[in-house]
Structure 1
Amino acid sequence: MTLQIRPATPADAAFAAPLIQATIGAIGYALTGEAEDEGAARVIAHFFAQPGNRLSAENTLLLEEGGEPLGLAVLYPGDRAEALDEPFRRRLRALGLPDRTEPEATPGELYLDTLAVAPPARGRGLGGRLLEAGVARAVALGLPRVGLLVEDGNPAARLYARHGFVATGPRRVAGKVYTHLARPA
């Protein structure tokens, strides 16, 4: 069967939300105000179906084979990060929680917020295909680079290095230290 990368739709939320939460972990808790994966994924599913936030379907590419979703990439221009986090800050305020969201993206880049492949589909080079689709999107948007964060020890760092990403410095987000990586588009 043929692999296809297509724009996600709100109907993809049931596949996307748990996979996004499993990938972003502590950041998902910080964004949603939830303390466990199931609750965070439920909130992410709600936001995925809504436009105008960082985890929206409108910012997501879905990789599928024969109509079955296998992976995704959530990408948005770094210049829009502050505005795309506002819906999450509103939710946190409504819950009586601090509404601070640490910046992840850098202005001037297409920020890869989440890259995830479903566990049964891993090891097939699908993450690399999604990365290259992200680079193509950056080119189409006229952005000079793609950036992302990776946690120390994450095996995906090898994938990023193979695709030309290099470290630009540390970032602290949701109480953890990540390394910001970037590559030219």
Structure 2
Amino acid sequence: MGHHLTATQSDEAAAPVIAEFFVQPGNRLSYANVLIAELGAQPVGLALTYLGEEADDLDAPLREHRRRQQLSPDITRETEGDELYLDTLATTAAARGQGIGAALIDACAQRAQTLGVPLTLLVEDGNPARRLYERSGFVPAGRRELAGHGYTRMERRG
């Protein structure tokens, strides 16, 4: 999905586009939607979430970016509406296995609970992170096909 959103073909090409959108409010990749985990003063993980009902508005700048690249502006919605969608969860390699991902998920779940909505995500078929999601209280809640890949929709309530 990241390559589709950024109109790029590789992680190296996507990185500067993501960095450009990160510093701007009002889009799904914005700093305003990101929680950062730190150990000491070092960032070691992040979680990017947004409300499903805001997805279309948050994707408008990305659709415009795709138009400027002379590509279709179509972006398939990953969310189903009344939910807090966990778009991205990542930790540095050095921080893996230290509970950083689980702590970020818990922080996101707490925000979802405050908002009165479930926390949801899509996990690609075969992604080993699914075990973390299941240990963190997510349960399967359907299937999706996006950008030619199969995903399980998972949901955590409370």
TM-score by length of 2: 0.97
Decide which of 122, 126, 129 is 1:156's aligned counterpart.
Answer: 129
The corresponding residue for 1:49 is: 23
Partner amino acid, structure 2, of 1:73: A
Displacement of 1:151: 0.7
| Residue 35 (str. 1) matches residue 13 (str. 2) | no
Partner amino acid, structure 2, of 1:179: T
The corresponding residue for 1:70 is: 44
The Cα offsets for residues 82-132 of structure 1, whole Å up to 9 and x where unpaired, read as 111111100001111011111111211100000001111101111100000
Displacement of 1:141: 2.3
Partner amino acid, structure 2, of 1:129: A
| Residue 142 (str. 1) matches residue 116 (str. 2) | yes
Given that 1:106 and 1:147 are in contact with CA atoms closer than 8 Å, whether structure 2 keeps it comes out as: no
The corresponding residue for 1:20 is: none
The 1-side partners of 2:81 and 2:74 are apart by 19
The corresponding residue for 1:13 is: none
The secondary structure found in structure 2 opposite 1:91 is: helix
The secondary structure found in structure 2 opposite 1:64 is: strand
After TM superposition, the structure 1 = structure 2 runs for residues 123-138 of structure 1, keeping only pairs within 5 Å, are 123-138=97-112
| Greater Cα shift, 42-51 or 132-141 | 132-141
Note the residue ranges of structure 2 that are not aligned, 5 or more in a row. none
After TM superposition, the structure 1 = structure 2 runs for residues 1-185 of structure 1, keeping only pairs within 5 Å, are 27-143=1-117, 145-185=118-158
The 1-side partners of 2:14 and 2:86 are apart by 20
The 2-side partners of 1:41 and 1:142 are apart by 33
Partner amino acid, structure 2, of 1:180: R
Question: How many pairs does the alignment contain?
Answer: 158
Instruction: Give the % identical residues.
Output: 50
The 1-side partners of 2:143 and 2:131 are apart by 17
| Greater Cα shift, 164-173 or 124-133 | 164-173
Displacement of 1:172: 1.5
Given that 2:35 and 2:46 are in contact with CA atoms closer than 8 Å, whether structure 1 keeps it comes out as: yes
The Cα offsets for residues 20-70 of structure 1, whole Å up to 9 and x where unpaired, read as xxxxxxx11100111111110110000010001111100000000111000
The secondary structure found in structure 2 opposite 1:150 is: strand
TM-score by length of 1: 0.83
Partner amino acid, structure 2, of 1:181: M
Given that 2:113 and 2:157 are in contact with CA atoms closer than 8 Å, whether structure 1 keeps it comes out as: no
